[in-house]
Amino acid sequence: MSEPNVDRAEIIGMTSTQLKDWMAALGEAPYRARQLHQWLFKHRAPSFDAMTELPRTLKKILEERASIVSARIENIFISSDGTRRYLLGLADGCEIEAVFMPEETRDTICISSQVGCPLACDFCMTGVVGLKRNMTAAEIISQVIIVLNDVYGAGNPTPHRTNIVMMGMGEPLLNYDNVMQAIQILADEDGFAIALRYITLSTAGIVPGIDALAMEPRRPRLAISLTAATDEVRDRLFPINRKYNLDSLIAACRRFPLGPRERLTFEYVMLDGVNDSDRDAKLLVRLLSNVKAKVNLIPHNAAPELPYRSSPMQRIMEFQKVLTDAKLPSFIRRPRGLDISAACGQLAARHSATE
Ligand code: SAH
């Protein structure tokens, strides 16, 4: 696995304490570190030049020693439903993607955590690419800055109730330290100030990672990509299920500490004829019977490379009825950005395939 080729400090991947220490090593006072911190995370300044109250000499030093965003926009695809999909280039030429989804009451930014993914889930385009490398904390944060600055403009406040979901490329729990570092930075009340309850980490079921997250004093919401209610089906869709089967996964979910009104989200991608019968729905109800759960039913985003089709909407609604009758809360996710290759990893995978 290669490491990113950056010789300048990736300061947006630093917590406020780390930034203070880094500035102290340059001989700068803590109040300067605080100013820099505000410019980076409150105002999302695109350049050091824009940081008006910093002295010119300091700006020059920062320009030489540090970089702000460690990614650049290679392409933006805008869907008729307002979804904006970003193909981003990292310093070493790797490509990742992030997605902005406007909704009536809130906006959601979907970000990547790895370049590619090692899990090779059979219905996911990112699995086709394989893992190239982990993303650094700064690269993970860069996606949020780039998207917010593109949509709202640098300097304008991050809208209240902006949601961050780690549902782009990669398995966040296999890049644990960098992902947790990025989440702490996003949640820092003096910086982005995105509340932890508006940040969701989604996993394909890395049991030791779920247990590690359970021990964190400050943790995001957790979503589990379940998509199957039996080991037989799940083994086929998620190779990782052969290592951490449903028994061990559900046991980890049961011991995961939740707030009084908090529920775990279980994502269930609806695959025609594979996992979408009423019997599957009943098995799902039984599987989650002792878990504080809500289920997101997700129409599959098809791609020629993937041997699956989405269940028809009628079937999804019938499937949902079984859950509702059993008092298991569920939501049908509206497909987004269908006209711009919105399935996870489609953009970067297509791009590398055509190079
Ligand atoms: N590795 C993590 C996060 C990335 S995948 C995880 O597995 O949760 C984010 C979500 O997108 C998962 O719920 C996954 O099941 C879903 N997904 C992947 N490919 C999809 C596709 N082609 N159509 C619909 N959902 C998909």
Closest CA to 179 of 112, 127, 125: 112
Is 97 designated active site?
yes
Backbone angles phi and psi of 78, in degrees to 5: -110, 125
pLDDT of residue 353: 40
| Helix 278-287 / helix 313-325 crossing angle, nearest 10 deg | 40
Ligand 1 neighbourhood includes 301 CB (under 6 angstroms): yes
The residue annotated as part of the active site, out of 10, 28, 95, 97, is 97
Euclidean distance between CA atoms 346 and 355, whole angstroms: 14
Residues of the chain with pLDDT under 70: 1-6, 341-355
Instruction: Point out the ligand 1 atom lying closest to the alpha carbon of residue 117.
Output: 1
**pLDDT given at position 354:** 35
Helix (H) or strand (E) holding 266: strand 264-270
Query: How much distance in Å is there from the Cα of 104 to the middle of ligand 1?
Result: 23
- Among residues 94, 110, 117, 344, the one annotated as catalytic is 344
Distance from Cα 321 to the centre of ligand 1, integer Å: 23
From 123, 344, 346, 350, give the residue whose CB has the most ligand 1 atoms within 8 Å, as the site to mutate. Answer: 344
How confident is the model at residue 1, as a pLDDT? 42
pLDDT value for 340: 75
The phi and psi torsions of 8 (rounded to 5 degrees) equal: -100, 150
Q: Which atom of ligand 1 is found nearest the CA of 346?
A: 22
Ligand 1 atom closest to Cα of residue 223: 8
CA of 124 relative to ligand 1 center, distance in Å: 6
Query: b/e map of 34-56 (b: 16 or more CB within 10 Å)?
Result: ebbbbbbbeebbeebeebeebee
201 within ligand 1 shell (Cβ under 6 A): no
At residue 347, the pLDDT reads 57
Q: Cα-flanking dihedrals φ and ψ of residue 277, to 5°?
A: -85, 165
Q: What is the pLDDT of residue 24?
A: 97
Q: Is 121 tagged catalytic?
A: no
Separation of alpha carbons 177 and 139, rounded Å: 13
How far away, in angstroms, is 34 Cα from ligand 1 center? 38
Average pLDDT value for the chain: 92
pLDDT at 350: 54
Q: Is 342 in the pocket of ligand 1 (CB under 6 A)?
A: no
CA–centroid distance, residue 339 to ligand 1 (Å): 18
pLDDT (0 to 100) of residue 124: 93
**pTM here?**
0.94
Q: Where are the beta strands (DSSP E) in 125-186?
A: 131-134, 163-166
Q: Is 163 in the pocket of ligand 1 (CB under 6 A)?
A: no
pLDDT (0 to 100) of residue 128: 86
CB atoms within 10 A of CB 122: 15
Tokens 């989604």 correspond to what residue?
Answer: 202
Q: Domains in the chain and their CATH numbers?
A: 9-67 (1.10.150.530), 71-340 (3.20.20.70)
